[in-house]
Amino acid sequence: MLEGLMIGLSTAFSFQNLLMVIGGCLIGTFIGMLPGLGPMSIIAIMIPIAVTIGDPSAALILLAGVYYGAIFGGSTSSILINAPGVASTVATSFDGYPLARQGKAGKALTVAAISSFCGGTIGAILLMIFAPMLASVALLFHSAEYFALMVVGLSAIAAFAGTGQVGKAVMMTVLGLIMATVGEGALFNLPRFTMGIMDLQSGFGFITLAMAMFALPEAIFLVLDPARSKAADGGEQSDIKDMRITGAEARQIAPVIGRQSIQGFLIGVLPGAGATIASFLGYAVERNIASKADQAEFGKGSLKGLAAPEAANNAACTGSFVPLLTLGIPGSGTTAILLGALIALNVSPGPRLMIDNPQIFWSVIVSMYLGNLILLILNLPLIPYIAKILAVPRTFLIPFILFFTLMGAYIGQNNATELLILVGLGVCATILRFADYPLAPLLIGFILGRMLEDNFSRSMQLYDGVGFITARPMTMGLLLLAVFLVILPSYRARRARLRAAGVADGD
Amino acid sequence: MALDRWIALVFLIICLAYGYAAFFTLDATLPPFMKRNPVWPSTFPKVLAVLGILTSLYVLLGFEKSGEEKAPDIDYRRLWDYNLGQAVLLLSLMVLYALMLRPAGFLISTSVFLIAGSLVLGERRIILTVIVALIATGFVWYLVEGVLGIFLRPLPYFMGT
């Protein structure tokens, strides 16, 4: 491990890569503060740039920096003006904004910065220790197990995506899989389901789909409802000079940060959970185990309530790199986009990554330490200036968001028809969001679809039929787990409902 | 019927069409030697079509009671109360941009898109809008063409490449 660390250190500390991580953090922080542009959209925007760099470790370092920066940028705007730019920082605003309103903005931002730093660093250490272990387990996997594992990943994503609406999430996953079969597959030289449209010959563009699913609907929502970004007026100048944290406060939040860093990391490792769920769970768990007096503070400006989601969400971001780097399975929409970027760079993530390209693997881990440190250094002094960007009037902000989605799709495919597809899919995605359909499963299904089919076909060919399911115990076990994951939430919801109904009858 | 079930119905129709293509038309072009394979190009789509039909029926027929009613981001039943006109105008602008990008060149279409977008959203400081749009267009063009090396036709088609 030490040897690997040295490789990583020497790669990450090259001048170019240092520049990448600083640049990535800066870009991520600044754009992440803008409402409507989460890490997913920002990384999607940055992919053409990253791919042009050519060097996979540099590109991945840049994207990882952007990822951290974006998560951090989102917390800044949640705390200062109660406008979470990213879903995973919504929980941050529960207690961060009340603190800012009490004139403790400086303290709130400092707590957030330190919690994120600790979460990210602890996550990176855990990643360093456990990822090689997971990778060695992963080497036992054959294409049949990969197929089963992807099914587990997809079903976990579907089950986590929406509480009480598993059916919808599964539907979206299937839709994503169906969209992935459009165009020429890798194993068969045969265009499928193109409906005679030449531009669909190579399938849907992945950046186009990412933009259409996330950036565009959010922009349309911002247009439809100006109140969504009303908080971006600048607001009264808070006294954010006082950034001191007393010893008592530090003792209060230290165990919270420790617990939530570990919990967040573990949730991040699970495919389908990700930073948003980690931050909400972290907040919920800390509120439940707090003493009665502390519990009353939650929601009114509790430092614990601020530290918990911040530590958890940064640790989860790091955790989601474990399945991505070792198994090639993205744990969240963002890492799904990163996976797409990796494939575009001719790197296939998976168990072989650590053996074939150790410098990529280790330089990413080292760049995580660096990214966290640089974020801390950048954010503390820059906070008062950073907040000014949020005051960009929406009349300028929204056309620019739309323009960047268009540019992202155009640069990705170099094809003007792609822009029409983007608008069409974007409108569809907006309608799906109206009806409360989760969109992340669709994108993850789309990205995993090709690999799922390839592994499925390969194992079918090896075993001359579906015999591989019963012939390999691990495949069988994983598939059963997948079925269990899909059924469990609806079973529990049904039982809870029946119990509630029973109580009502008894009254 | 609520919007989510209408969507499930549309998805069901898509799956039926997809399944029809997978089961009946896709294998027609398959060369005979490929038919000896245990897996055909249509195998996976067939599985997906069946899965899709089952899940869409599950949602369509309302087997799953949605959990507690949470406040939606945007209530589509009151869509007319929102700035629907602005949203539709902006989307049309995007379509226009897609159609004009090649013939009119990047510089003109982008500045027009950014200026018109701001005006649609109610910006009235026209000079500021024009200046911002022109600077942004020039900057992005420099970034894409100069730094990234991706060719974008800068000028209209009749003014050279």
Tell whether B122 lies on the interface with A, counting CB pairs under 8 A. Answer: yes
Average pLDDT over residues B93-120: 90
Please report, for chain A, the start and end positions of each structural domain, with discontinuous segments joined by +: 2-234+246-506
Whether B95 sits inside 8 A of A423 (CB atoms) is: yes
Whether B101 sits inside 8 A of A416 (CB atoms) is: yes
Taking the CA of residue A197 and the nearest CA in chain B, the distance in Å comes to 15
Asked, for residue B122, whether it belongs to a domain, the answer is yes
* A180 phi, psi to nearest 5 deg: -70, -20
- Provide the domain limits for residue B101: 83-159
Cβ-contact A418, A61 below 8 angstroms = no
Asked, for residue B70, whether it belongs to a domain, the answer is no
Asked, for residue B12, whether it belongs to a domain, the answer is yes
Average pLDDT over residues B80-87: 82
Whether A461 sits inside 8 A of B37 (CB atoms) is: yes
Tell whether B13 lies on the interface with A, counting CB pairs under 8 A. Answer: no
Cβ-contact A260, A403 below 8 angstroms = no
Cβ-contact A384, A38 below 8 angstroms = no
B22 pLDDT above the threshold of 80: yes
Residue A303 exposure: Cα atoms within 13 Å on the Cβ side: 25
Asked, for residue B43, whether it belongs to a domain, the answer is yes
Cα–Cα separations (whole angstroms), residue A254 to A282, A427, B78 = 14, 46, 47
Taking the CA of residue A219 and the nearest CA in chain B, the distance in Å comes to 9
- Claim to verify: residue B93 and residue B141 sit in the same structural domain: yes
Whether A416 sits inside 8 A of B68 (CB atoms) is: no
- Claim to verify: residue B55 and residue B113 sit in the same structural domain: no
Residues of chain B with Cβ-Cβ distance to A188 below 8 Å are: 41
**Over its length of 507 residues, how does chain A's per-residue pLDDT go in tens digits?**
677 777 777 776 778 878 888 888 888 887 776 655 567 777 877 777 787 877 777 887 888 788 888 887 778 767 776 655 566 776 787 788 777 767 677 778 888 888 888 888 898 888 888 777 765 665 666 778 878 877 877 776 666 555 567 788 888 889 999 998 888 766 666 777 777 777 777 778 777 887 787 778 877 887 887 765 544 334 444 444 556 677 788 888 888 899 889 888 887 776 655 676 677 778 777 877 777 777 777 777 788 888 888 898 888 888 888 778 777 777 667 788 888 888 887 777 776 777 777 777 777 777 777 788 888 887 777 766 655 555 567 788 788 878 877 877 777 667 788 889 989 999 999 999 888 887 777 877 887 788 788 888 888 888 887 888 888 888 898 889 888 877 876 677 677 777 777 654 443
pLDDT at A424: 93
pLDDT at A317: 83
Q: Where are the alpha helices (DSSP H) in B21-161?
A: 43-60, 84-104, 106-120, 126-141
Tell me the three state secondary structure of residue A183: strand
Whether B59 sits inside 8 A of A435 (CB atoms) is: no
pLDDT at A507: 39
Cα–Cα separations (whole angstroms), residue A253 to A307, A377, B114 = 7, 21, 46
pLDDT at B116: 93
Tell whether B96 lies on the interface with A, counting CB pairs under 8 A. Answer: no
H/E element, A79 = helix A56-81
- Claim to verify: residue B151 and residue B110 sit in the same structural domain: yes
Tell whether B100 lies on the interface with A, counting CB pairs under 8 A. Answer: no
CB atoms within 10 A of CB B10: 14
Q: What is the C-alpha separation between A457 and A304, in angstroms, rounded?
A: 50
Q: What is the C-alpha separation between A218 and A257, in angstroms, rounded?
A: 31
What pTM value is reported for the model? 0.70
Whether B83 sits inside 8 A of A226 (CB atoms) is: yes
Q: What is the C-alpha separation between A445 and A457, in angstroms, rounded?
A: 17
B71 pLDDT above the threshold of 60: no
Cβ-contact A16, A376 below 8 angstroms = no
Global ipTM:
0.88
pLDDT at A162: 53
Asked, for residue B77, whether it belongs to a domain, the answer is no
Whether A419 sits inside 8 A of B101 (CB atoms) is: yes
User: Last residue of a domain, which of B33, B65, B97?
Assistant: B65
Average pLDDT over residues B42-61: 89
Cβ-contact A362, A60 below 8 angstroms = no
Q: What is the CA radius of gyration of chain A?
A: 22
Whether B98 sits inside 8 A of A224 (CB atoms) is: no
- Claim to verify: residue B155 and residue B93 sit in the same structural domain: yes
Of A270 and B137, the structure prediction assigns the larger pLDDT to B137
pLDDT at A233: 39
Angle between helices A90-99 and A274-289 (to 10 degrees): 50
The residue behind tokens 């510089």 is B107
H/E element, A184 = strand A183-184
Closest CA to B97 of A116, A486, A422: A422
B115: pLDDT confidence band, cut at 50, 70 and 90? very high
Number of domains chain B contains: 2
H/E element, A192 = strand A191-192
For the record, the structure tokens of A473 come out as 């115990």
Cα–Cα separations (whole angstroms), residue B54 to A174, A494, B6, B61 = 10, 19, 15, 11
Query: Of how many residues is chain A composed?
Result: 507
B11: pLDDT confidence band, cut at 50, 70 and 90? very high
Best mutation target, A199, A396, A451, A483, to test chain B (most B CBs within 10 A): A396
B78 pLDDT above the threshold of 90: no
Closest residue, chain B, to A408 (C-alpha): B144
Best mutation target, A223, A430, A442, A492, to test chain B (most B CBs within 10 A): A223
Number of H helices, E strands in chain A: 23, 2
